[in-house]
Structure 1
Amino acid sequence: MIRSALRNVIPIQKMDDMMKRLLLSALCTLTFSSAFANDELPGFDEITVKTTHRTRPVAGSIWYPVGTKTYKGLRGDNPVFVGNYAYVGAGVKEGKFPLILFSHGSGGNMFSAGWLFSALAKKGAMVVAVNHPGSTSGDSSPRRSILLDERAKDLSATLDTILNDPNFNRYIDQSQIIAAGFSMGGASVLNLAGARWDREKFSQYCKTYKSADPGCIFFSKGGVDFDHLPDGFIGNAKDERVTKVVSIDPGYTVAFDKASAKDIQIPVQFINIGHQDRTFGADLEAEGNNILSLIPDASYAVTDHGDHFAFLPSCKPEGTALLEADNDDPVCTDPEGTDRVEVHEQIQQYMEKFIGLD
């Protein structure tokens, strides 16, 4: 009908030229749509976690495969770091998906690994992250960050919340509940798997590395008394519902009780970032704390390059200057030759294979 109508007003040659342009335009549209479809966004929503060990609720978020779309929202974007887009409040795709509980590092937050959450959700996982009070961005206190057992309790409470949430619980494959974390969060998920802290070892470690380990330096600045760590510090935080653990550049693993680490009966994947500038507490190999030799079902992977901070989101051009102005950690300054995107892709691939998403 359109072609017939055009004949009445456009000469044949011009009409053919126009049809070519229309066809080319349509082809470009289809190509763009296909490219967009291959780079689909995850779903995102926020949750509130009520706990018995905190005086106030814990803020959380969930990333998941999309069933029905809503609108695009940018999450985790700030003057230093690049954020990630997601469909806010979108419907969940039908099916059953592995659930990943994520614990951020000291001073991080529930968006600190948005790049990873987005990628895993697009591959078919649900990812829940929380802000650990007293140890999160804008609310990071040495005296409260040292309460390491409370971090594991946050994760268990988050699991309680999401498994009882009718908006999400029917999509969760409860036979695949993975606890994952970075830095202090990497240690927190080992705590959740059954490893227990040893106060004497922790105290000795931070006394020995008080000028070398960033975490111990932070604790010392806040006047933490390493000889009188809280009683709850050594408590049992094991959650039997967790089926696997991914621990990325974990801190303080040298301070775990060896017997409790040997009793961990679930698969644990350790990931180190790069081969250089590791602190003793985060070096998992024989030259470091050698925790790999303790856990029966442990696997190990290491990225080709990068260092501890390369796990964090890609930085904006002005990020380094802003951090220097605030005398903050150089989290945007990577070792020479580091491509942070490549580091992220390697970590993502290691996790996908371990979880079974590849």
Structure 2
Amino acid sequence: MRYFPLAMVLLGLSGQVALADSAVGFKQIQQPGTNSDRALTISLWYPTEASGKTEAVGENPVFFGLDVQRDAMTTGDKHPLVVLSHGYGGSWRNLNWLAGVLVQNGYVVAAPDHPGTTFANMDAVESKRIWERPRDISRTLTVVLDNNGLAGKIDPARIAVIGHSLGGWTAIELAGGRYDAERALKDCEGAAQPAQCTDLPLMAKIGIVGQGKADPKLSEYLKDERIRAAISLDLGPASGFTSQSLGAVDIPVLVYAAGHETKEIVAIKSDSEYLRQHLPQITTTYREIGDATHFSFVQVCKPGADQIIEEESPGEGFVCRDGGGRARADIHQQIASEIIEFLGEKLN
């Protein structure tokens, strides 16, 4: 079983119409580093004609892949663009399922692997340069817009960013949120502590806090005016965003929160709730999924995948566990339908 047929099921059940005789094209490119910019690996998904041999990308013993036509020709049409940002320790594979659904609805999708916080590249120095994450997305956006030969023509008026976990933080930065890390650290002194306070070692790894101090570069203003809508999938950490900056966000934002927690991972819906409270109500949509865990937003796991993970990394099998009677594919169906509806309304 591949994940692409499931994506087609999602489209049919959500009421969306897949592009006729279309398939998902896929390619990866290397963006060289410079004196001021770090090197990036960028993955691209895009509409292409249904012809030629397909292969499953992102497939491994744990996760299903997505059926694509690698390095296929692009179409001559102009498409909206969605840029994806993965979470801490993730990669482009995490939202591979969502990229497939978006392409089948006419979008081009691009995703950089953020150096230092990627599964295959966990670098202690780079991981602390969290302010580079929004810059990675902006650079990816520029690369795709400047070269129609990569994934096809892009409509510059229809661009959105979607991020999961730390990628959600990245998306809110690009939307205009301004993060005050000193404030986030100070919040940990209060009685009602936000989510990041429960794992200060992790926050130190990504540069939010370190030796009692926060990096001043986190307060840089990193809004990208080319982005017209943002979606946050169970982000963290959020409370460090200033209420003033969130209140000034002038693009539509869709905020998701996972409502279920397990003994291994505490739900961080308080972070998403913080966004709901401080983003403009008129342009913000909030969705809490009661039976979703933090990892319900990533790729569908294969049967028995949690046992495989436990054997290799004891205690980590919760990545493949959800919070109720629904399968992860059913949770994805809901998310996909809502995202396509949101983008269709806000980018048109």
| Fold equivalence (TM over 0.5) | yes
* Cα deviation, residue 344, structure 1: 0.7
| Alpha-carbon distance between aligned partners in 1 of 2:269 and 2:21, rounded to the nearest angstrom | 34
Give the counterpart of 1:89 among 71, 75, 78.
Answer: 71
Query: Which residue of structure 1 aligns with residue 333 of structure 2?
Result: 345
Matched to 1:74, the amino acid is: A
Give the counterpart of 2:141 among 155, 159, 173.
Answer: 159
| Alpha-carbon distance between aligned partners in 2 of 1:93 and 1:274, rounded to the nearest angstrom | 40
Query: Which residue of structure 2 aligns with residue 324 of structure 1?
Result: 310
Query: Which residue of structure 2 aligns with residue 313 of structure 1?
Result: 299
Runs (5+) with no aligned partner, structure 1:
1-35
Cα shift readout 1:71-90 (whole Å, capped 9, x = no counterpart): 31211112221111101111
Give the counterpart of 2:23 among 24, 32, 41.
Answer: 41
* Cα deviation, residue 201, structure 1: 2.2
Query: Which residue of structure 1 aligns with residue 61 of structure 2?
Result: 79
* Cα deviation, residue 173, structure 1: 0.9
C-alpha change, 1:60 and 1:183, in structure 2 (3 Å) is same
TM, length-normalised to structure 2: 0.82
Secondary structure in 2 matching 1:112: helix
Query: Which residue of structure 2 aligns with residue 253 of structure 1?
Result: 238
Q: Work out the number of aligned pairs and report it.
A: 320
Give the counterpart of 1:293 among 260, 274, 277.
Answer: 277
| Alpha-carbon distance between aligned partners in 1 of 2:331 and 2:47, rounded to the nearest angstrom | 23
Matched to 1:327, the amino acid is: P
Secondary structure in 2 matching 1:320: helix
| Alpha-carbon distance between aligned partners in 1 of 2:315 and 2:23, rounded to the nearest angstrom | 32
Query: Which residue of structure 2 aligns with residue 126 of structure 1?
Result: 108
CA contact (8 A) 2:22 2:47 kept: no
TM, length-normalised to structure 1: 0.80
| Alpha-carbon distance between aligned partners in 1 of 2:156 and 2:206, rounded to the nearest angstrom | 40
* Cα deviation, residue 136, structure 1: 0.5
Give the counterpart of 1:238 among 215, 219, 223.
Answer: 223
CA contact (8 A) 1:102 1:179 kept: yes
| Alpha-carbon distance between aligned partners in 2 of 1:210 and 1:274, rounded to the nearest angstrom | 15
Runs (5+) with no aligned partner, structure 2:
1-17
Identity %: 29
Query: Which residue of structure 1 aligns with residue 182 of structure 2?
Result: 200
Matched to 2:83, the amino acid is: L
C-alpha change, 1:193 and 1:179, in structure 2 (3 Å) is same
The answer to whether residue 255 in structure 2 is matched with residue 273 in structure 1 is no
C-alpha change, 1:346 and 1:221, in structure 2 (3 Å) is same
Secondary structure in 2 matching 1:237: coil
| Alpha-carbon distance between aligned partners in 2 of 1:95 and 1:231, rounded to the nearest angstrom | 43
Matched to 2:337, the amino acid is: Q
Give the counterpart of 1:171 among 139, 145, 153.
Answer: 153
Matched to 1:320, the amino acid is: D
Matched to 1:98, the amino acid is: P
* Cα deviation, residue 69, structure 1: 3.3
- What pairs up with 1:126-145 in 2 under 5 angstroms? 126-141=108-123, 143-145=125-127
C-alpha change, 1:107 and 1:213, in structure 2 (3 Å) is farther
Query: Which residue of structure 1 aligns with residue 163 of structure 2?
Result: 181
RMSD: 3.0
CA contact (8 A) 1:68 1:93 kept: no
